């Protein structure tokens, strides 16, 4: 019995630590929060639209095992995403771009956190990896959540936890 406990204890402790290391990230610029496993690295870029202003993108990335979690939030000039028609247009454009990354396993409309969105699952690297994407247009923000992992690996509960964690303020 001691021998079994000796070998099982490190596994049980490791599993408990992996399950509990999710962090809530709050982005003031995006007026949103979401959960990522472990600590996230953040990067910011800005793209100019000339007289219309610029979009600032906030990118948060976390890696856990064979899975990569990415949340990119673009804050656009109000004139670029003012109407529902403009939001639907940018969602359609981004969905088309994602579909070019590989073979589409699933794509469709998905309301996320009460906002219009899309869901796209793409098989990449000749089927060796899967990318799960959720896109949401909320106000003048476009949020793209991506979870990438090797096919057949990863935790579906973690994937669901990641996607269900998005909240807008």
Is residue 5 over pLDDT 90? Answer: no
| Bridge partner list, 108 | 119
**Residue numbers of the domain that contains 54:** 23-168
Is 42 inside any structural domain? yes
Q: Specify the pLDDT at position 11.
A: 37
Looking at the domain assignment, is residue 3 inside a domain? no
With respect to residue 38, please indicate whether it lies within any of the assigned structural domains.
yes
In a domain, 13, yes or no: no
Number of domains in the chain: 1
Domain assignment present for residue 160? The answer is yes
Sheet holding 129-138: strands in order across? 41-48, 54-64, 67-75, 141-150, 129-138, 117-124, 103-109
With cut-offs at 50, 70 and 90, classify the pLDDT of residue 31. very high
Q: Binning pLDDT at 50, 70 and 90, where does residue 20 land?
A: low
- Of 63, 60, 76, which Cα lies nearest the Cα of 21? 63
pLDDT tens-digit profile of 85-103?
A: 999 999 999 999 988 888 9
> Does some domain include residue 134?
yes
Q: What angle do CA 21, 5, 154 make, to 5 degrees?
A: 35
> Is 67 inside any structural domain?
yes
Q: Residue 104 falls within a domain, yes or no?
A: yes
The CATH number assigned to the domain holding 132 equals 3.40.1000.10
Quick one: pLDDT band at residue 112, thresholds 50, 70, 90? confident
pLDDT at 13 over 70: no
């Amino acid at each position: 019995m001691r021998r079994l406990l000796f070998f099982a204890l490190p596994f049980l402790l490791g599993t408990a630590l992996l399950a509990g290391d999710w962090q809530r990230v709050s982005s003031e610029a995006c007026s949103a929060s979401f959960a990522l496993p472990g600590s996230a690295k953040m990067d910011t870029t800005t793209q100019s639209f000339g007289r219309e202003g610029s979009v600032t993108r906030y990118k948060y990335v976390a890696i856990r095992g064979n899975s990569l979690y990415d949340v990119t939030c673009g804050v656009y000039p109000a004139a670029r995403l003012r109407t529902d028609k403009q939001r639907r247009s940018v969602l359609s454009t981004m969905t088309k771009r994602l579909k070019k990354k590989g073979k589409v396993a699933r794509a469709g409309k998905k309301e996320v956190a009460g906002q219009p969105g899309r869901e796209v699952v793409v098989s990449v690297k000749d089927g060796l990896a899967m990318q799960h994407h959720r896109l949401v247009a909320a106000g003048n923000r476009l949020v793209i959540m991506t979870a990438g992992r090797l096919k057949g690996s990863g935790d579906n509960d973690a994937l669901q936890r990641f996607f269900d964690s998005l909240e807008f303020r």
